[in-house]
């Protein structure tokens, strides 16, 4: 695995804004990277946000485990156990992908005038697609992308190959979903596009 290519791809996909006071923290479901949950808790604990919205139904990983609890419910349990009051957590358990996460949230919470600024928390390489999805499907909402700080420099070859394949998949989704009209079109450097056609 070419380390420089890995870094270029990661830097492009991972948007990392400075956290600022926001009306809502939007936590995207997922159980393969618990650092995401910790990031959400830290932002709440440091009074950057008062309310957390968790989106996620029964995803692939939970389905494999024959577990019928949704990702949102699982993450809510984690946050409540660490002291986040239940009244400050809102969950949505029907969505199964990023587009549905954003659309369902916009219909129920983000569509109100009370939500003007959102902090999005998810996997680092998921952030560009999240931002593009918000830009296409919401109005008058300022989105800050605040993934956990995860270093990929110490990954072994097998782990690096897995992450590389995940990032290649993200680039494909950015292209495909923009063509479908689901997300805003992203300006993807030609060098990165060349990685996915080799």
What pLDDT is stored for residue 118 in this prediction? 95
pLDDT band at 75 (very low <50, low <70, confident <90, very high): very high
**Res. 59: pLDDT tops 90:** no
Query: Is pLDDT larger for residue 103 or for residue 64?
Result: 103
Report the C-alpha gap between 163 and 168 in whole angstroms.
9
pLDDT band at 95 (very low <50, low <70, confident <90, very high): confident
CA angle 184, 4, 28 (to 5 degrees): 40
Closest to 22 measured CA to CA, from 166, 141, 190, 170: 141
Q: Which domain holds residue 125?
A: 3-197
Q: pTM for the full model? A: 0.90
What pLDDT is stored for residue 52 in this prediction? 95
Domain containing 101 — which CATH number? Answer: 3.40.50.620
What pLDDT is stored for residue 139 in this prediction? 82
Name the domain count of the chain.
1
Mean residue pLDDT across the chain:
88
Whose structure tokens read 């097998």?
158
**Tokens at residue 104, please?**
């369902």
């Amino acid at each position: 695995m070419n380390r420089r290519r890995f870094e270029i791809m990661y830097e492009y996909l991972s948007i990392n804004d400075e956290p600022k006071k926001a009306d809502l923290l939007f936590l995207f479901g997922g159980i393969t990277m618990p650092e995401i949950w910790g990031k959400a808790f830290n932002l709440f604990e440091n009074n950057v946000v008062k309310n957390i919205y968790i989106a996620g139904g029964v995803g692939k990983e939970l389905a494999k485990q024959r577990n019928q609890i949704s990702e949102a419910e699982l993450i809510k349990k984690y946050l409540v156990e660490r002291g986040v009051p239940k009244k400050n957590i809102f969950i949505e358990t029907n969505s199964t992908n990023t587009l549905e996460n954003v659309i369902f949230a916009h219909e129920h919470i983000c569509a109100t005038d009370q939500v003007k600024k959102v902090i999005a928390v998810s996997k680092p390489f998921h952030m560009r697609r999240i931002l593009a999805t918000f830009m296409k499907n919401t109005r008058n909402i300022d989105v800050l992308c605040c993934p956990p700080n995860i270093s990929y420099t110490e990954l072994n070859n097998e782990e690096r190959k897995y992450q590389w394949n995940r990032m290649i998949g993200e680039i494909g989704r950015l292209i495909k979903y923009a063509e479908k009209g689901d997300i805003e079109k992203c300006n993807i450097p030609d060098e990165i596009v060349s990685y996915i056609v080799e």
